[in-house]
Amino acid sequence: MAKKKAKTLPAVRVILVTAPPKEAERIARQLVAERLAACANLVPGLTSLYWWEGKLNRDAETLVILKTLPRHVPRLLKRLKALHSYQVPEFLALPVVAANADYARWVADVCS
C-alpha cells in the first residue's frame, strides 16, 4: 500500500509591532482590513524602555501581534511605516516552526 503524501502546511509569520496605545488598534485594523494580516492581537499595558536620540526613554505601549504569510511581509512593513507615527517603528517577523494545520490554512485563506 502506498503511503499518503503529507500535505504541506502554509508557512506563517508572526509579526511583532509596538505602538502608542491610542494608535495601535487603528494600525492593526487597517492591516487586517487590507488582508496583509489574517488577524491582530492587541496586548495593552506594556512599558517600554529604550534608547532614542541619546536619551533613555520610558513609554506606555501596546504590543500588536500579527499573523501573515511570508510573501506579505515586505508590503506589510511598507504599510506599517506609512501608518505608524514612530520614525523607526518596531517590526520583527518571526518564522513559525509548528502550527495547528487548520489555523495555518485559515491564515493562508484570509491573506490570499
CATH number of the domain encompassing residue 24: 3.30.70.120
Task: Please list the rounded mean pLDDT of every run of 10 residues in the chain (112 residues).
Answer: 67 97 98 98 97 97 98 98 97 96 96 89
Distances from the Cα of 71 to the Cα of 4, 62, 68, 112, angstroms? 28, 25, 8, 10
- Domain contains 10: no
Tell whether 80 is covered by a domain. Answer: yes
The phi, psi pair for 42, rounded to 5°, reads -105, 120
Q: What is the pTM of this model?
A: 0.91
Domain span including residue 47: 17-111
For the chain, how many structural domains are there in total?
A: 1
Cell numbers found for residue 45: 499595558
Q: Is residue 6 part of a domain?
A: no
What does DSSP say about strands 55-68 and 92-95: parallel, antiparallel, or unpaired? Answer: unpaired
Centre a 10 Å sphere on the Cβ of residue 2 and count the other Cβ atoms it contains: 4
Whether 4 is covered by a domain: the verdict is no
Give a yes or no: residue 8 inside a domain: no
